[in-house]
Amino acid sequence: LKYDEQTGEEYIETTIEDIKNANELIKEVLIRKADTLTGRSRNQLEAFKTILKNKTETFTNAQLRTTLRIAKSTAQYHLNTWLDAGLITKIHDKESQTYNYRLVSEKEYKALENKIDTLLKTVVTNIENRARDQDRTKTQIRSVKPKATKGKLQPNE
């Protein structure tokens, strides 16, 4: 801990590297908090996406259950959650009187990750720019200090 000499306030001195390391540690937490799905539902969806051969193909509740080895009620819960979040669409097959589902976007989670990563990098860049500007200001202030000239008396001479 350090103390500001003028105000007496406590502060912790950090470096840009400290902030970058902290951002790496918190990135996954921020992604999970920004996600509309629970961790378990997200994990199931991502697992299912990796198993689906063709991301645009349709799938059924039964295929989801078999692939993820989950109970019917659990599969229905995930399907309803994904539907509510707009991550899948429900297609009614009138001929067979069944419902199929299709992923809306296989890359939506990656887009969320990229957005948060970009925001964290922007924050670091802003801090770096501000630090550079402050260093320039200090340099300019130092260079403006009056110099002692010969022939004129300076205080304390």
Given this model, what pLDDT does residue 35 score?
Answer: 94
* Tens-place pLDDT, residues 139-154: 555 544 545 555 455 5
Whether pTM exceeds 0.95: no
* Tens-place pLDDT, residues 47-102: 999 888 777 789 999 999 999 999 999 999 999 999 999 999 999 988 888 899 99
For residue 138, pLDDT beyond 80: no
Delimit the domains of the chain by residue range. Answer: 16-133
For domain 16-133, give the fold.
Arc Repressor Mutant, subunit A (1.10.10)
**What secondary structure does DSSP assign to the chain, as a single string?**
-EE-TTT--EE----HHHHHHHHHHHHHHHHHHH-SS-HHHHHHHHHHHHH-SSTTS-B-HHHHHHHHT--HHHHHHHHHHHHHTTSEEEEEETTTTEEEEEES-TTHHHHHHHHHHHHHHHHHHHHHHHHHHHHHHHHHHHHTSPPP-TTSPPTT-
Given this model, what pLDDT does residue 54 score?
Answer: 75
For residue 135, pLDDT beyond 50: yes
